[in-house]
Chain A
């Protein structure tokens, strides 16, 4: 049973992918099969979170090869939570209508690709092996490449190409780091690497390989100065697809950073993590400044992803248990909120036929429900109490005060104000002002239930806000395991899932 719980979030999307492919090749619709697959994944993920929360980390050895020789799948609380929220986001996007696309654009096999994306994302969260992580990254990336370029418009293809090229370079860096690590340590298992790295005591080696992997993960996460692919590509995909990317892809990079830089490349092992804090502050500032200058609704939101990633990685750099708990809470909150904002952005775009917010207007009057569904995540992102973003930022700043990182606190608060400012900009332009004379406000939407999808995410945001204690307790538990790597090492190397 435990074995199935661990492997389920990988196995179910894989089986669903094959079923969807078969159905589509027979000329049948794959949407129902895809939906059932995601619901099953979500159910298994829920059980996994409960089981890991009560019974501790689960591990599974692939093919019976004992670690450190074989590949091991590890579900600790952080991985389980990330798998859960990923399955939830994919479910929401399917409800929203993944076929949601600009009029007159084609493209098939969308459900196969979505399942492939979920497969890659869940695999990345659950693997306990560095090279296996590379493989899951590539599974995730190839699915997202095809989803991006699926509409075959000139802008989509060009955005897709930027995305592909920069991610391929990042993957090459990842492989270099993995190769050098294996050459020196003779292992690729995270837990075993952590043990051997402690024994090695070679700061030059730790910093070389650590920097290579940092660059690779930073490029996937969208950190300064590696984020340029993100605002050049995300908004060019269809609304549903870009919401899926906004929710999941960069967070896999953040997860990989959290995993490796609390376990293998720690200060105790000689890695100089100061630079991470400065990079994250630059990320926060440049991301939000980019957003302030934008008028393309989803491009503006894409810039916000970058600045929010800065907050998460800053928490990693501070590195106290409170900061790590804040990062985990921040990541969960951010996935829900950002996906919802992209979904709202997509509806605005479809209703008006243009992504330019200066040509929008009057949605507060014509569609008050949509206005509420925008306000909840927007205010949460800006950090207005009592919404979830406030709790995330509060804990992060508290952790910063405890470590006396005054510059970080100043940057965090200033960026928070600018975030709110650009949310208010969308509010003013799209919802508040009266529509321009020649503007459309009621073009038809695609088949799907966008309102239901957005309500689901808003409810999740409200749950994060008002039962924040419950979610934060989970985050604290996950963070405690991150802060003390011996628990992870014990679980992986000390005998498996009996």
Chain B
């Protein structure tokens, strides 16, 4: 299971890198979305289910052996998904406004300056 997950993460990162290096703004955005998904899966994979005692304490403050996966990475992923979703929507809106203003989705025009 973990091997499949790792291959998937690798593929997502490779695809994201390829897309980020493109000139089309839309592909750069797709690259960012893929990168976000790759990172979320990496968080999940790095948590290695059942590998450690979880942060659920007994009354005496000792971690309880409940035989479940560590819930913390899942909380982290959930947070990352929510933040990533908000930022993606904002970025898409920004990219659309840029495209409407300039009529071109080539990223090379983004850095052009009027004054040297």
Residue positions of A touching B, CB distance < 8 A: 66, 69, 131, 134-135, 138, 141-142, 145-146, 149, 152, 154-155, 157-162, 164-165, 168-169, 172, 175-176, 178-180, 182-184, 186, 228, 232, 293-296, 299, 355-356
Contacts and interface: CB of A to CB of B under 8 A. Distances in A.
Interface string B59-99: 00100000000101100100110010011001100110110
Interface of B: 20, 25, 28-29, 32, 35-36, 38-39, 42-43, 45-48, 52, 55, 57, 61, 70, 72-73, 76, 79-80, 83, 86-87, 90-91, 94-95, 97-98, 101-102, 109-111, 113-116
B39 A176 contact: yes
Contacts of A294: 116
Contacts, number: 108
B46 A183 contact: yes
B55 A69 contact: yes
A138 B83 contact: yes
B94 A164 contact: yes
B43 A149 contact: no
Q: Quick one: which of B32, B70, B80, B109 has the most chain A CB within 10 A?
A: B80
Given A157-B97, A160-B94, A179 B83 contact: no
Contact of B91 (A135, A165, A172, A182): A165
A179 B70 CA distance: 13
Given A149-B97, A179-B47, A228-B111, 15 more contacts: A141-B87, A159-B110, A168-B35, A168-B91, A172-B35, A172-B39, A175-B42, A175-B80, A179-B42, A179-B43, A182-B47, A183-B46, A295-B115, A299-B113, A356-B115
Contacts of B79: 131, 135
Contact residues of B: prevailing secondary structure:
helix
A131 B20 contact: no
Given A182-B72, A232-B110, A149 B35 contact: no
A183 B46 CA distance: 5
A180 B52 contact: no
Contacts of A169: 20, 32, 35
Kindly list the 6 A-B residue pairs having the minimum CB-CB distance in the complex, ordered from nearest. Answer: A183-B46, A179-B43, A154-B101, A179-B46, A296-B115, A158-B110
Contacts of A161: 25, 91, 94-95, 98, 110
